[in-house]
Amino acid sequence: MTVSGKTRVCAVIGNPIEHSLSPVIQNAAFNALDLDVVYVAFTVKPSELANALSGIRALDILGLNVTMPHKETVIPYLDWIDNTAKCLNSVNTLHCKGGRLLGYSTDGVGALEAFRGNGADLQGKRVLMLGAGGAARVIAYTLIEAAEVEELVVLNRTVSEAEKLADIIKYKFDKKIVIGSLSSEVIGEEISNSDVLLNTTSVGMKPNVDQRLITPDSLKSDLTVMDIVYNPFETQLVKDAKMVGAKVISGVEMLIYQGAAAFEIWTGHKAPVQVMRRAALEQLNKG
Ligand code: ATR
């Protein structure tokens, strides 16, 4: 594309941010639809967040993705946030519209669409979630709200965090949430009673690519497995799940669909998901 005096800017802010795949994914989407927008990455230290947001307003940046460590701290600077983001205290997408900064959370919808886009229907299913951090909170909320998950099990290294997550969900929805520790016995027992396994912990992420929470003999072929870790593209969990014949959804799918939802908020156009997926995979293949 040719950058002109009329080109609009979108960006991702975070710290660190150099390894983000979002610029590659979003620029591919803008190009595919021939939109006059470029997407860049800005390193923003926590102490500079207020200044950065003043700049965003002053420069009339079209949209932002917000990532670690700003998803919560950005909220006081916004003019409006959507209901899901408000309940979960987490914002990952900003839209600058008419001089106002609007905040959304597309992480949950990213996970939901990753399941749907890969043919996994969660309605009435028992979902076993490993981890209870920020991503887990948003995903759990959306899966229960929009996908009508029947029962959720949350296992976490720090059980009190799983308890907090369960309290947030139970406050809003009339759902049974089972919580527990990440011991191999508990994981094995819960897998045998579950339809879907979702890893939201950072276990298996580069450079600790050999790390696993689950031994392959605990997995089963009638399980749908999603790992939100996308670097490496095939985590140890994904490899093990493929080996036992389970249905597998890689973390890059969630990344693409949360980006697609942000793209649609900024542009009003349907996101070219296939183009975004190809761009992400090409970049990941380069290492
Ligand atoms: P995110 O925003 O990606 O969810 P986070 O809020 O820091 O990041 O959450 C990280 C999750 O990974 C937590 O559930 C964390 O468990 P604790 O609550 O016990 O810290 C989990 N996690 C990180 N490293 C882990 C490890 N080595 N083993 C098990 N769980 C781990």
Question: Considering only CA atoms, which residue is closest to atom 21 of ligand 1?
Answer: 201
Q: What is the DSSP string of 25-53?
A: HHHHHHHHTT-SEEEEEEE--GGGHHHHH
3-state DSSP helix/strand/coil % of the chain, to nearest 5: 45, 20, 40
Looking at residue 207, its pLDDT comes to 92
Which atom of ligand 1 lies nearest, measured to the CA of 161? Answer: 18
| Ligand 1 contacts CB of residue 133 (under 6 A) | yes
Residues in the chain: 287
Atom of ligand 1 nearest to the CA of 132: 14
Of ligand 1's listed atoms, the one at least distance from the Cα of 182 is 29
Of 137, 156, 160, the residue with max ligand 1 atoms within 8 A of its CB, to mutate for a pocket test, comes to 156
Predicted local distance difference test score (pLDDT) of residue 117: 93
> Is 164 near ligand 1, meaning CB less than 6 Å away?
no
Least confident among 121-130, 145-154, 188-197: 145-154
- For residue 266, the CA-to-ligand 1 centroid distance in Å is 31
What pLDDT, on a 0 to 100 scale, did the predictor assign at position 80?
98
Q: Specify the pLDDT at position 148.
A: 81
pLDDT tens digits for 70-107? 999 999 999 999 998 998 899 999 999 999 999 999 99
Mean pLDDT of all residues in the chain?
Answer: 95
pLDDT digits (tens, 9 = 90+) for 199-241: 999 999 999 999 999 999 999 999 999 999 998 999 999 999 9
pLDDT score for 177: 94
Average pLDDT over residues 243-266: 97
Q: What percent of the chain has pLDDT over 90?
A: 89
CA of 199 to the centre of ligand 1 (A): 10
- 97/94 Cα distance (integer angstroms): 9
Helices (H), the chain: 22-32, 49-58, 83-88, 107-117, 134-147, 159-172, 184-192, 236-243, 251-267, 273-285
The answer on pLDDT for 1 being more than 90 is no
Q: Is 286 a catalytic residue?
A: no
Residue of the nearest CA to atom 24 in ligand 1? 202
Mean pLDDT across the stretch 164-172? Answer: 91
Confidence at residue 286, expressed as pLDDT on a 0 to 100 scale: 86
The verdict on the CB of residue 48 being under 6 Å from ligand 1 is: no
Q: How far is the CA of 208 from the centre of ligand 1 (A)?
A: 14
Phi, psi at 110, each rounded to 5°:
-60, -45
Point out the ligand 1 atom lying closest to the alpha carbon of residue 208: 27
- At 171 the pLDDT is 86
Residue 147 has pLDDT above 80, yes or no: no
What pTM was estimated for this model as a whole?
A: 0.93
Q: Best substitution site from 201, 206, 211 to test ligand 1's pocket, by max atoms within 8 Å of Cβ? A: 201
Q: Is the CB of 136 under 6 A from ligand 1?
A: yes
Question: Phi and psi dihedrals of 191, rounded to 5?
Answer: -60, -40
Residue nearest to atom 7 of ligand 1 (CA): 133
pLDDT of residue 225: 98
Q: Atom of ligand 1 at shortest distance to CA of 137?
A: 4
Task: Give the per-residue pLDDT at 49.
Answer: 98
Quote the ligand 1 centre to 122 CA distance (angstroms). 24
C-alpha–C-alpha distance, residues 230 and 205, integer Å: 8
Q: Could you identify the residue written with the tokens 């991503």?
A: 135
Catalytic one of 45, 71, 170, 239: 71
